[in-house]
Amino acid sequence: MGNPVMGVLFHWLGGLASASFYVPYRGVKRWSWEIYWLTGGIFSWAIAPWLFASLQTEDLLAVLSEAPLPVLLWPVFFGILWGFGGLTYGLTMRYLGLSLGMAVVLGLCTVFGTLIPPIFNGEFVPRLLGTPAGQFTLLGLAVTAVGIAVVARAGSAKDRAQSEAERVASIAEFDFRKGLMVAVFSGIMSACFAFGLAAGEPIKAISAAHGTGPLWTGLPVLCLVMLGGLITNGVWCAILIVRNRSAGQWAGLPAPLPANAPASGPDRPPLLLNFLLCAIAGMAWYFQFFFYTMGESQMGEYGYSSWTLHMASIIIFGTLWGFALKEWRGAAPKVRATVWAGVGLLVFATIIIGYGNSLGGGA
């Protein structure tokens, strides 16, 4: 038996981890993007998944060895596609700006990640449309979409209130057509994480048969999906490292100075601090999915609604971080009220979905 209330709590913890992971990167000094991104990624895509799966799974290697080869490969494949979603998310922000880009990417990611697995498994009509629990899941998804739109509207209003110089600085390469294409690609690819978890469902059964507790049966699948993300991000970062000749930064060599920097010469990066901050960021990035699998295990037969909860929680805590970091300091009171209204809708959506899952028996 599952516990949907605990499931929602775990998803909120995962959303908090996801919304917080980038904060430590803000403290990294004099490292190029590809250096700190790959350093943190090694912790999140390689070290953490295998460490926690080894600790909580009964005989991890035996569980994986018993899974059929396609069941092992599909999660890795979808993880590779998910990696493309993460890489192109930044391009979306460049072409559309934060508010519009976030709305398109997370909106598409929510819809695809929630609906495609039950459609693929032939469960959309009998389980979502044909049961009260499924109907509440769809209602929660609709409320989530409205909440995302409200938060994005507030972000758009904040952007419009900026001066021309501030607007050009924040969206200097605005291109709606190009940005929309990239955002659609990013949203669909990011949703592939949910597809990878669904493809690895048989591994969870094998892990349970070995005696692993229900909270932890999804951890071996994370190892595979995150491996796919490591492949995509690792290859791209390696290309950038070769192109920018930035590998020496790991050994303390300074990053190249920007063209308009003062002529006093670059400082060497603080290696210990940078590695520590990247490790914290990487572990936080992993913990979003660590808590995601725990939450999904409590949502019963409607576990695919977990993706909606995950996306909503990210926006909730991401918005709270925005206020904490004073990103909304210059916003008008009406805009601030709109933001909180959107966050309230997202919280309400998680309650609806949790209630719907309880109607399904959480089994």
pLDDT at 363: 42
Q: In 3-state terms, what secondary structure has residue 111?
A: helix
Q: Could you tell me if residue 256 is inside a domain?
A: no
pLDDT in tens, the chain (363 residues): 567 778 888 888 988 888 788 889 889 998 998 999 999 999 999 999 999 999 999 999 999 999 999 999 999 999 999 999 878 876 776 676 555 566 667 767 777 777 776 776 677 777 677 788 778 878 888 887 888 788 777 777 776 776 655 555 555 555 657 777 887 788 888 888 888 988 999 999 999 999 999 889 999 999 999 999 999 999 999 999 999 999 999 998 876 655 555 555 557 788 999 999 999 999 998 998 899 888 887 776 656 667 777 777 877 787 777 777 776 777 788 888 888 888 888 778 877 876 776 676 544
pLDDT at 34: 92
| Lookup: tokens for 252 | 């303390």
Domain with 41 in it:
4-251+270-359
Q: Could you tell me if residue 265 is inside a domain?
A: no
Q: Could you tell me if residue 282 is inside a domain?
A: yes
Q: Could you tell me if residue 260 is inside a domain?
A: no
pLDDT at 89: 74
| Lookup: tokens for 141 | 């998804």
Q: Could you tell me if residue 231 is inside a domain?
A: yes
Q: Could you tell me if residue 145 is inside a domain?
A: yes
Contact 292, 310 (CB under 8 A): yes
Our measurement of the distance from residue 34's CA atom to the centroid of its chain's CA atoms, rounded to an integer in Å, reads 19
| Cβ contacts of 15 within 8 Å, gap of 6 or more | 288, 309, 310, 312, 313, 314, 315, 316, 317
Q: Considering only CA atoms, which of 78, 59, 93 is closest in space to residue 188?
A: 78
Q: Could you tell me if residue 19 is inside a domain?
A: yes
Number of structural domains in the chain: 1
Q: What Å distances lie between residue 303 and 1, 94, 120, 131, 294, CA to CA?
A: 13, 34, 14, 15, 11
pLDDT at 362: 46
Enter the pTM of the model: 0.76
Q: Could you tell me if residue 263 is inside a domain?
A: no
Cα angle 232, 233, 234 (rounded to 5 degrees) comes to: 95
List of long-range contacts for 331-336, beta carbons under 8 Å, 24+ apart: 331/154, 331/157, 331/158, 331/161, 332/157, 332/161, 334/157, 335/154, 335/157, 335/158, 335/161, 336/154
